[in-house]
A and B are shown apart, each in its own frame.
Chain A
Amino acid sequence: MRFMIIVRATPESEAGVMPEEPLLAAMAGYHEALAKAGVLLDGAGLQPSATGWRVRYRAGRASVIDGPFTEVKELIAGYTLIQVRSREEAMEWARRFPAPMGEQADAEIEVRQLYEMSDFAPSEAIDRFRAMEAQR
C-alpha cells in the first residue's frame, strides 16, 4: 500500500522562510529513518506558489494563472511517499513526522492513500462487458 504524507502550506512557507537547523535535522533524520526501514519511496519540498502557476479549466477552455495564490489553506508545501503493509503502519509513521514548521509552530500534515494500478484493472473488463452487452 502506498501513502502520500502532504505538508500543508503556511504563511511562512509561502513567504519562502527557510527552515532552521533543528527542523532541517529533524526532517533529514525522519526521512533517513524511513529509508532505513525500506519504506521511503520519494519525497520533496515544494517552492512557494509565487514561482508556480495554475491552469484553470472553464467551459471547455484552459487559462493560465500565475502564482502566488492567497488562499494558503488550499496550498501544499511538500510531500513524502511511503510504501507500507497496512493503513495502521502509515498512521504510525505519520505520527512520527516531525512538526513540519518547527516544534512550537502551528502546522498540519495530511495523509492520503494512493490508488494502485490494480484499482483500475477492472475497467478494461467492464468495457468488454459493456461491448458484449451492446451486441446482444
Chain B
Amino acid sequence: MTQEATHRAIEAVWRIESAKVIAHVARLVRDVGLAEELAQDALVSALEHWPEAGLPNNPGAWLMAAAKNRALDRLRQDALHARKHEELGHDLDALQAHVVPDFVDALAEASEDDIGDDLLRLVFTACHPLLSTDARVALTLRLIGGLTTDEIARAYLVPEKTIAQRIVRAKRTLTEARVPFEVPRAADLPARLGSVLEVIYLIFNEGYSATAGDDWMRPALCAEALRMGRIVAELMPDESEVLGLVALMEIQASRTSARVDAEGRPVLLMDQDRSRWDPLLIRRGLIALARAESLGGARGPYVLQAALAACHARARKAEATDWAQIVALYDALAQVAPSPVIELNRAVAVGMAFGPAAGLEIVDALGDEPSLANYHWLPSVRGDLLAKLGRLDEARAEFERAADMTRNARERDLLMARAHAVKSSP
C-alpha cells in the first residue's frame, strides 16, 4: 500500500470509529472537548504506527485502547495536581480495574450496550439546548459525523475559521456549564430528543436545498443526516418520532434524482418523473414508518410528515395520489404541530381532494398571516387555485407577485412561466 493509500484507509477507519471512541473517552473524562483531543491523539498515534506495522485486525479496538490510555494518563496527571486525591483515587482504582493485561482483547469484547449508551450520551450532548442551533449542527457533524472543519465549512458555504471558532466556543460553553455527560432523564427526554431530531433534520434540509453548482459536500449533508438518523434509530428503537424522521428522510432522499431536470431547474413533486424515484429508499422509508406506527401511541409530527411522504411515494402516478388521505394527515398534523405553512399545505390538499373553491377558502384565511408575508408559495398556491376557478386575471397577478418575492432565479423563471401560461388561456 502506498503512503497515501494507507492514510486514506486510516481516515476511513477514523470515520467509522471516531464517534464511538470520543463517546467512550467522554464518559471517562466527563468533557467532550477533552475527549475529542484525546481521541485525536490516538489517531495521530495510528498514523504513526499503522503505515509500517499495517492496519491492526481490529482497528476500532486499537483506537479505543490508545485513547483510553491517554485518558487515564491525563486523569492521573490531574489527580497529582488536584487537592481531592482520595476522591479521584477511588475513580482511578475503578478505572484501572477495567484495564486488564490483554486490554485490547477485553475492549474488543466490551459490551455493545456500553458503547451504544456512550454514543447516545454524545448525541444528546452535542445537541444540548444550551448551544445555539448553528453550534449544535457544527458540533454534531464534527463529533458524530466525523467531518473535518473544512468539510463542514464547505457544506455550509462559510469560511473554515468560522466553523472552527463555532466548535471551540461550543465546547467551552459545555465545559463552563459543567454539562453532565448523560442521557437525559425521562421527564426531559421528549424536549431533548426533539432537539436531536431538529438538528439532524436541519442538516438534511441544508443538503436537500443544495443546487447543481454547489460544492459536492452540500448534497452529501443529506447522506450524513440519513446516516446519523439511522444510527439514533438503532440506539432508540422504541422512539416512534426517531423512526418517523428516518422514514421521512429516506423517502425524501428517494426523490433526489427527480427533483431537478436536465437543465438543473427544480421540478415540483407532482411533475416529477417517478421512474427516477429510488425504490430501495422508498421501501426503507415505508418499513421505518410501519415500525414507528406499530409502536402505537399518538402520531407525532415526524411520523405524520413521513406518512404524508409515504402517501406520495405509494402513488405510481401523480394522478393516483390519495388526496383524501393526505387531507386527513394534514388535519392531524395541524392539531399536533400547527403552523401557517402546514395550513397552506393543507389548503393545497383540500383543493385537490374537494375542489379549488374549498382550497381557496383556507388560503384566503391565511391572507393576513404575518409569517407568510414574504413566503412566495402563498401567492403561488392562490394563483393555482384561482386559475382552476377560471379567475385568470387574478391568477396571473398572483403568480407575478410570487415571482417578485422569490430570490431564487430558477423559481422566479418557473413562476413567470406560469403567469404567462395563464395570460394566454382563452
Q: Which residues of A contact B (CB under 8 A)?
A: 35-39, 41-42, 81, 83, 85-86, 88-89, 91-93, 95, 116-118, 121-122, 124-125, 128
Contact = CB atoms under 8 A, between A and B. Distances in A.
B97 to A, nearest CB: 27
Interface stretch (B6-14, B34-42, B167-175, B379-387): B6-14
Contact of B227 (A39, A81, A86): A39
24 contacts: A36-B234, A37-B231, A38-B227, A39-B227, A42-B280, A83-B223, A83-B227, A85-B223, A86-B11, A86-B12, A88-B8, A88-B9, A88-B11, A89-B16, A92-B12, A92-B13, A92-B16, A95-B55, A116-B257, A117-B256, A117-B257, A118-B257, A124-B262, A125-B262
Given A36-B116, A36-B234, A95-B55, 8 more contacts: A35-B234, A36-B235, A38-B230, A86-B11, A89-B15, A93-B16, A118-B256, A121-B257
B302 to A, nearest CB: 17
B363 to A, nearest CB: 35
Given A38-B226, A42-B280, A124-B262, A85 B15 contact: yes
B12 A88 contact: yes
Contacts of B234: 35-36, 38
A94 B276 CA distance: 29
- With most chain A CB atoms within 10 A of its CB, the pick from B11, B116, B262 is B262
A107 B9 CA distance: 24
Contacts of A39: 227
B284 A117 contact: no
6 closest pairs, A vs B, by CB? A117-B257, A38-B230, A88-B12, A38-B227, A124-B262, A38-B231
How big is chain B's contact interface, by range? 20 to 34
Contacts of B276: 117
A127 B11 CA distance: 40
Nearest to A118: B257
B257 A91 contact: no
Nearest to A42: B280
A127 to B, nearest CB: 9
Interface string B221-254: 0011011111100110000000000000000000
Query: Which DSSP category, helix, strand, loop or mixed, fits chain A's interface?
Result: helix
Given A38-B229, A38-B231, A91-B9, A117 B278 contact: yes
A125 B59 CA distance: 45
B47 to A, nearest CB: 14
A82 to B, nearest CB: 11
B220 interface: yes
A28 to B, nearest CB: 12
- With most chain B CB atoms within 10 A of its CB, the pick from A35, A85, A89, A91 is A85
Contact of B262 (A92, A93, A95, A121): A121
Contacts of A117: 256-257, 276, 278
Contacts of A85: 15, 220, 223-224
Nearest to B5: A88
Interface in B243-287: 256-257, 261-263, 276, 278, 280, 284
A54 to B, nearest CB: 24
Given A41-B284, A117-B256, A36 B231 contact: yes
Contact of A128 (B13, B262, B284): B262
Contacts of A88: 8-9, 11-12
Contacts of B220: 85
Contacts of A124: 261-262
A93 B12 CA distance: 9
Contact of B16 (A37, A83, A122): A37
Contact of A35 (B223, B230, B256, B261): B230
B281 to A, nearest CB: 8
A43 to B, nearest CB: 12
Interface in B29-67: 55, 59
A35 B246 CA distance: 13
A91 B227 contact: no
Nearest to B147: A85
Contacts of B229: 38
A121 B257 CA distance: 8
A37 B234 CA distance: 9
A48 B7 CA distance: 40
B280 A81 contact: yes
A83 B281 CA distance: 11
Contacts of A83: 223, 226-227
A46 B235 CA distance: 30
Contacts of B263: 125
A55 to B, nearest CB: 22
A12 B227 CA distance: 36
Nearest to B229: A38
Nearest to B227: A38
